[in-house]
Amino acid sequence: MEDRYNQLTGTDVLTYRWIVPSESMTAVGELVVVSDEKKSIRYFTRVTGMHHEYESGGVLVTGFPIGCIGSDNIFRKPRTIPPLHSPVRGMDTEEISLLNMFMGDLEMGCMMSGNRLISEIPVGIPPSVLNQHLGIFATTGMGKSNLMKVLCASAIVTRKAGILLTDPHGEYATGQPGDPHACGLVHHPLAHVGLSVFTIRDESFARMHGLKPLKISHSDLSIADLGLIFDLSHDQYEVIHLLMPFKTDEILDFFIHDDVESLPSHLRTTAYIGNHQDIAQRVRSASPDALRLVQRQIRTLLDLTSGFVNKTESSFPEIISALDENKVVLIDIPGMSDAAELFVLSAISRSIFKDRQNRFINEGLSQTNGNILISIEEAQRVLSQRSEKTGIFREIAMEGRKFGVGIGVITQQPKNIDQRVLAQMNTLIVMGLADRQDREIIASSAKHDLRILDTEIQTLDRGEAIISTIGIPFPVSCHIHHFEEYLNWYS
């Protein structure tokens, strides 16, 4: 090899340049080490770009130092620069194990260095960051469902955090319907201890797979969530606000037992005869049409959800204690409409958040409680800039951290998520984003500078991700395990 190759030809603190022979297989994302041999400092550097160099006939590579390590063996942000002509080389075994030390317990895949898989470095995020929210940004078909299953599989093994997810497609519990080779979370060898599935499917299916029936009681619901299901007018929102101080089971009882058409006129006389005088008094000033509509919608909602919403029975205490035991809780609701799924997720999320909040206020959360991650697919439905439907999810995004509750925002359209919510996300997993504006928004909210990884993000393949988390001092390229294969490792 000629001398001029693989030596630093230019540096500033955050950009290194060197030339490699044109036939070399250097790839964007590759990790190399630039060593300052005099001072015994090694600079770990990630290839961020390259182009042909006329003069030398080689390829001019640019890289970004992700950290450096001196003779004290402490990994630091690079504030110094290596001298010109410092050698640039691949990582050795000791350097690979050094990077391995930063990886967390919730394993998702293996580290990638350019096109090469480093199987010695399993990539995972620490469970301790889950209360600081997580964003998964993936174009359709890039492997987001597979990633979620792998993340849950790891959580089932490590049992250091609880994860809640809803599944309206029926693919997480027992595998993609119609695919005989697909596996689901129930096939995890530790599912009996680390997984709880609550389902709306029929009893025989549930029994065969060890799933529990999902039950939601009237008092688990919040009247505010009516807006998740129906488009409410200003007047209807007013009715909802008037009703807010009352318990939901009483509100529902009131609307179920009064005659829809005569309700408003009754209320205008003093002769209301019923069990809910206080509610009747309160809604007296509301628009009769809005009141009638709200009543009709409540009845429709209870009709639609009659399979699992009932007066008194509730799975919520069991869901909360499973999450407290750091289990994965899957709400299996195949065929449920978009709106109804959000309604269910909102009710469960509120219950989890309020429980943790109350315990925090009354007893101080014990250190043994792990974090809980509530994952929301297509999160732009509830966390967009102008949505009135953000309710509990925004509250968790803003305040969940101190109570150990984080949200997992999964979306293809980060530009449609409220920027203030994105700013709260301390772990970002990017799985391909074709839209430049989407990439810019993510780059500006990440804890690491992802702008320089733009080329890499654009060249991500299915099953590949860039992970930026406060738990790891540099962004990591990762090849996500294939769920079915990952399960086999445990079997």
Ligand X SMILES: Nc1ncnc2c1ncn2[C@@H]1O[C@H](COP(=O)(O)OP(=O)(O)OP(=O)(O)O)[C@@H](O)[C@H]1O
Using the rule CB under 6 A, is 482 a contact of ligand X?
yes
Q: Which of residues 291-330 bind ligand X (CB under 6 A)?
A: none
Binding status of residue 108 toward ligand X by CB under 6 A: no
144 scored as a contact of ligand X (CB under 6 A): yes
By beta-carbon proximity to ligand X, the closer residue of 134 and 347 is: 134
Q: Is 91 in the site for ligand X (CB under 6 A)?
A: no
**Please, where are the H alpha helices in 334-426?**
338-362, 380-383, 391-403, 419-422
Options 140-148, 198-206, 269-277, 338-346: segment touching ligand X (CB under 6 A): 140-148
Phi, psi of 49 (to 5 degrees): -170, 165
User: How are the residues of the chain apportioned to helix, strand and coil, as percentages rounded to the nearest 5?
Assistant: 40, 25, 35
Beta strands in 129-220 (DSSP E): 134-138, 161-167, 195-199, 212-213, 216-217
Tokens, residue 384:
């967009």
Q: How far is the CB of 145 from ligand X (least distance, A)?
A: 3
DSSP state of 187: G
Asked if 418 and 394 count as a contact pair (C-beta separation under 8 A), the reply is yes
Candidates 143-151, 311-319, 335-343, 368-376; binding stretch for ligand X (CB under 6 A):
143-151
Dihedral pair phi/psi, residue 257, rounded to 5°: -95, -5
CB of residue 462 vs ligand X: minimum separation in angstroms? Answer: 5
CB of 138 to ligand X, least distance (A): 5
Q: CA torsion sign, 258 to 262 to 265 to 269?
A: negative
Tokens of 269: 């006389």
Q: Which amino acid is at 121?
A: I
Among 67, 143, 168, 408, indicate the residue that binds ligand X (CB under 6 A): 143
The span from the CA of 158 to the CA of 58, in Å, is 47
Contact partners, residue 442, CB within 8 Å, separation at least 6:
135, 137, 414, 422, 428, 430, 433, 450
Of 430-449, binders to ligand X (CB under 6 A) are none
Per DSSP, 87 falls in state: B
Stretch that binds ligand X, among 81-89, 141-149, 348-356, 361-369 (CB under 6 A): 141-149
Residue 27 beta carbon to ligand X: minimum distance, rounded to whole angstroms: 18
Ramachandran sector of residue 375 (left: φ over 0; alpha: ψ -120 to 50; beta: rest): beta
Q: Is 85 in the site for ligand X (CB under 6 A)?
A: no
Using DSSP, state whether 145 is helix, strand or coil.
Answer: helix
**Binding residue (CB under 6 A) for ligand X from 146, 349, 387, 427:** 146
> By C-beta, is 33 or 376 nearer to ligand X?
376
- How far is CA 220 from each of CA 102, 201, 308, rounded to the nearest angstrom? 41, 21, 12
- With CB under 6 A as the contact rule, the residue among 170, 480, 486, 487 that binds ligand X is 480
Site pattern 113..132 for ligand X (x: CB under 6 A): --------------------
Total residues contacting ligand X by CB under 6 A comes to 12
**Residue 145 interacts with ligand X (CB under 6 A): yes or no:** yes
Based on the shown chain and the rule CB under 6 A, indicate whether residue 141 belongs to the binding site for ligand X. yes
Residue entry with tokens 């928004």 = 441
Nearer to ligand X, 200 or 429 (CB): 429
- CB nearer to ligand X: pick between 159 and 169: 169
Closest to ligand X by CB, 177 vs 210, is: 177
Smallest distance, ligand X to C-beta of residue 273, A: 53
- Least distance from C-beta 409 to ligand X, angstroms? 15
Asked if 138 touches ligand X (CB under 6 A), the answer is: yes
Residue 463 found at the interface with ligand X (CB under 6 A)? yes
At its nearest, how many Å lie between ligand X and the CB of residue 63?
Answer: 26
In angstroms, the CA 403 to CA 355 distance is 9
- In the complex with ligand X, the residue whose CB is nearer, 90 or 141, is 141
Token pair recorded at residue 344: 């269910």
Q: Give the nearest distance from C-beta 198 to ligand X in angstroms.
A: 22
Contact 335, 170 (CB under 8 A): yes
Contact residues for ligand X, defined by CB under 6 A = 138, 140-146, 462-463, 480, 482
